[in-house]
Amino acid sequence: MFRDKRKIKLIATSALISAFAGLIIMFLVIVFAIIPEGSSLSADGIRILYHDHNEFYLLNLLPLLFGLAGAFFGGKISDLKQKSENRIFSYKSTLDRTVEFVRRIEKKDLNTPFIAVNGEKLLETALESMRKSLISTALKE
């Protein structure tokens, strides 16, 4: 799973950015909770807030949960990028083989058939019918 360094980097970056966003949200929640309490924004004020309202201990999980979600989505984004790159490579390879086939036909090498690789039956059929048409035209002349 973690063989690709680019994928690891994307997952780590997404996790760190998301965890940092979780820290910022946690800080903002604490600030907006301290203001109505009338406490100061200090370690003692935060300790009092946590002591009076035990549910704030759950707030400590926010950066961790955001980090995990960021890592998950970073992995998904990496997978989508990889699929896209594979698709582009497949299209490029098909175009390269098609251009090579057309160049051979252009040089009057009509004995080379077009061989489909990725299930390109429609392209194979069209190019083969073109090649056969050129062969029959060449035989008539």
Report pLDDT digits (tens) over 56-85: 899 999 999 999 999 999 999 999 999 999
At 14, the pLDDT band (50, 70, 90 cuts) reads: very high
What does the pLDDT look like over 16-38, one tens digit per residue?
999 999 999 999 999 999 888 78
Amino acid at 15: A
Average pLDDT, the chain: 86
Share of the chain above pLDDT 70, in %: 96
Question: What pLDDT score was predicted for residue 110?
Answer: 77
Name every residue whose Cβ is closer than 8 Å to that of residue 33 and which is 6 or more positions away in sequence. 49, 53, 56
Does the pTM surpass 0.85? The reply is: no
Residue whose tokens read 């009092």: 48
The two three-digit tokens of residue 125, written as one number: 């059929």
Of residues 9 and 94, more confidence is placed in 9
Question: What pLDDT score was predicted for residue 26?
Answer: 93
Do the beta carbons of residue 41 and residue 31 sit within 8 Å? yes
Question: What pLDDT score was predicted for residue 2?
Answer: 52
| 105-111 own/partner pairs: CB under 8 Å, 24+ apart | 105/130, 105/131, 105/134, 108/138, 110/134, 110/135, 110/138
Question: What pLDDT score was predicted for residue 71?
Answer: 94
At 105, the pLDDT band (50, 70, 90 cuts) reads: confident
Q: Is the dihedral of CA 95, 100, 101, 106 positive or negative?
A: positive
Answer whether residue 1 shows pLDDT above 60: no
Name every residue whose Cβ is closer than 8 Å to that of residue 59 and which is 6 or more positions away in sequence. 26, 29, 30
Gap between the Cα atoms of 51 and 46, Å rounded: 8
